[in-house]
Structure 1
Amino acid sequence: MTAVTETALYVAGTGTALPGDPVDNTRLGKMFGISEEWIDLFVGTRTRHFCWDLGTGTLTHSLADLCAEAAGRALANSGLAPADLDFLILTTATPDTLLPTTATVVADRLGLSHLPAFQLQAGCSGAVQALDVARALLAGGHRAGLVVGGDVTDRFLDPGREALSLPTEELVNYVLFGDGAGAAVVGTEPVGEAIAVRSLLHRFTGRGRSPGQIVDWQGVARHDAGRQMLFEDYKAIEESVPPMASEIFWELLAATGWSREDLHYVLPPQLSGRMTARITEHLDVPELREVSCVADTGNTGNALPLIQLDRLAGELGEGERALAVIVESSKWIKGGLALERVPETDCTG
């Protein structure tokens, strides 16, 4: 269901983490033998970051490294102390290990203890799912918590493979994705960055429908002949995501009672540079300021909406409003957030 949040949910601080130097299309194209022009035209992403060395495949960062870094920045920006947190929720499609969970490793890195540490298995909609869970925990009496999202590609993009021998639906992932993490400290009081979540949408809509994306659990190391580790139905995504984004946009407006004229920013889905431009054109809201990151970061999965939120936090003025539109094409999930910077006079908590 989409509804105006009954329990107050505020973002107090945000943070992001991206590993290493950005990798541009020239370097990526040479690495995998892919045309730089094809990357520019088909995907439209300029740079991305990897937690592994392109030349050797050596791991330089783990998911826990990135999530702990982003979470630490969010906590610092919130003005809260670790002792103020009552829960941690981490969402990812690519945990470092099945056990221990990456959530508990991050909690340990941050010096947190004696609190629940949840881990959600999700894709691009994971951030809104985590915020939905956080809202329920806050309604149950908790005061503040930490939401973290991130993904890494080291098990799925193999620098030793001949990329051009891969089918297109798998090859596209070699130029589509990047690694990163984002985080947000949330609570029931308008402190810190004081961004109110006025409405939250989270809805599975893929009943009876083939997935637009598949990420196999085993990864490259246990690759069986004829079994694709990654599958991207780019045509289905191109056809389906723009109208889904429009539906989410107008549903959020209806839920809040806002009009289009009340908005200042839009955070469109971050599938790729090309797809985000296509979606934004379909939304047809040229008067709104766009907050995007995918052309610079690549598709970082669970991190994307939180990276956008971090960028928005640095721009959103007092009393200004934004809609974040989120689509996960794995099994077609709609997500979204209606956001408002609370005026300083309201920050009495």
Structure 2
Amino acid sequence: MGPPPVHLLGTGTALPGEPVGNDRLAERLGIPSAWVETFIGTRTRHFAVDLDTGRARWTLEDLCTDAADRALANAGADPSEVDFIVLATATPDALMPSTAALLADRLGIQGAAAYQLQSGCGGAVQAFAVARALLSLGPAGLGLVVGGDVCSKHLDLGQDFRDLPPAALVNYVLFGDGAGAAVVSGRPRPGARAALTHLEHRLAGLGLPPGQRVEWFGAADLRSGTAPRTPVREDYKAVEQRVPELARELRDALLTAADWSPESVDYLLPPQLGGRMTERITSELGRGLEWEPVSCVAETGNTGNALVLHQLDRLLPLLTPAQRALVLSVESSKWIRAGFTVEASDA
């Protein structure tokens, strides 16, 4: 008998400001709008920094607080009921204090345990795994799973983008900022929307170089000249090759673990990379099947740790009793395959 399910009581999301379309982004970067649409396939994204001035308008703490407030309202829960927070991010506001602790303070949750995971886009699945372990110790309580990233703060908006090769421009058009949250419990409650059942979060890139690397450095590094000139690097060709393979492996592993036939699945929440690649992966994974895809990346951009939570927020209103969903996430930082199965609640 496997670990008990995690019951989803409510979800919420947050995106900073108005959506930035390809024409606006292309004008700012001095690149053809058609290149963005053809190469990446993402139509809009949201930025926590002002595109013209580079000034920060929202922090990760701000976005996570908004998403958590909406999740709690969606679940009909009060912050005082929350026993713990698990927050996943690759871009915390500071090394200390943790954004998780700041979030607990903003929500007014005295005495809650606040955990923060440093992770890539598979982090929301990792956060659900930690929440499941905590709920197994106290299933009657409530937990708050949060994921979010503010990737735009790592991008240099003052440079001449006309000199950058396409591989370097990818990070300026692929990513967006945002946060998502879910209220979870270890026992079914009135109003529970769905249950997260079989879960997988495994390293799948032993011996392979990372597909993405995000640097951090301090004042001493800047003075000595040893700070990396490129804070965000991505091997997009490796991502194109490896992610579809790992997505297929993950799909098959989850179906086997849940003892589900492919025909019994109603919804597919595919890996969210860019709009174009996500479309290709979705088409291949569901070929010959009537799986309805639930995707957000073409509208939100790649929001990292928020992606799975944004997809869940779109999925839950669609689910009817006895329906099922596969949630797949592939993290290219060190090739991690992460996902879970979802079953609609009977109520």
TM-score by length of 2: 0.94
Partner deviation per Cα, 1:66-107 (whole Å, 9 max, x = no partner): 000001111111122212211001110000011111001111
Counterpart of 1:317? 320
- Secondary structure at 1:172's aligned position in 2? helix
Contact 1:153 1:178 (C-alpha < 8 Å) held by counterparts: yes
Counterpart of 2:166? 168
Partner deviation per Cα, 1:247-304 (whole Å, 9 max, x = no partner): 1111101001111111100000000001101111221345110000000000000000
Count, aligned residues? 341
Counterpart of 1:211? 210
AA partner of residue 204 (structure 1): L
Distance in 2 between residues matched to 1:34 and 1:153, nearest whole Å: 20
Contact 2:193 2:316 (C-alpha < 8 Å) held by counterparts: no
Counterpart of 2:253? 251
Q: Which runs of 5 or more structure 1 residues have no equivalent in the other structure? A: 345-349
Counterpart of 1:144? 142
Distance in 2 between residues matched to 1:115 and 1:5, nearest whole Å: 27
Counterpart of 1:299? 302
Question: What pairs with 1:2-17 in structure 2 (closer than 5 Å)?
Answer: 5-17=2-14
Kindly state the Cα deviation for residue 224 of structure 1 after the two structures are TM-superposed.
5.8
Counterpart of 1:110? 107
Partner deviation per Cα, 1:41-82 (whole Å, 9 max, x = no partner): 110000000011111111111000000000111111112221
Kindly state the Cα deviation for residue 246 of structure 1 after the two structures are TM-superposed.
1.0
Given candidates 81, 84, 93, the residue that maps to 2:81 is 84
Given candidates 182, 185, 193, the residue that maps to 2:183 is 185
Counterpart of 1:347? none
Contact 1:134 1:145 (C-alpha < 8 Å) held by counterparts: yes
Matched-pair identity in %: 54
Contact 2:20 2:45 (C-alpha < 8 Å) held by counterparts: yes
Counterpart of 1:157? 155
Kindly state the Cα deviation for residue 170 of structure 1 after the two structures are TM-superposed.
2.5
Name the CA shift for 1:59/1:274 in 2 (closer, same or farther; >3 Å): same
Counterpart of 2:284? 282
AA partner of residue 155 (structure 1): K
Distance in 2 between residues matched to 1:19 and 1:219, nearest whole Å: 27
Contact 2:217 2:227 (C-alpha < 8 Å) held by counterparts: no
- Secondary structure at 1:13's aligned position in 2? strand
Compute the RMSD of aligned alpha carbons.
Answer: 1.8
Name the CA shift for 1:5/1:181 in 2 (closer, same or farther; >3 Å): farther
- Secondary structure at 1:124's aligned position in 2? coil
2:339 is the counterpart of 1:336: yes
Q: Which runs of 5 or more structure 2 residues have no equivalent in the other structure? A: none
AA partner of residue 268 (structure 2): V
2:267 is the counterpart of 1:265: yes
Range moving further from structure 2, 162-171 or 310-319: 162-171
Distance in 2 between residues matched to 1:21 and 1:150, nearest whole Å: 17
AA partner of residue 86 (structure 1): D
Kindly state the Cα deviation for residue 232 of structure 1 after the two structures are TM-superposed.
1.1
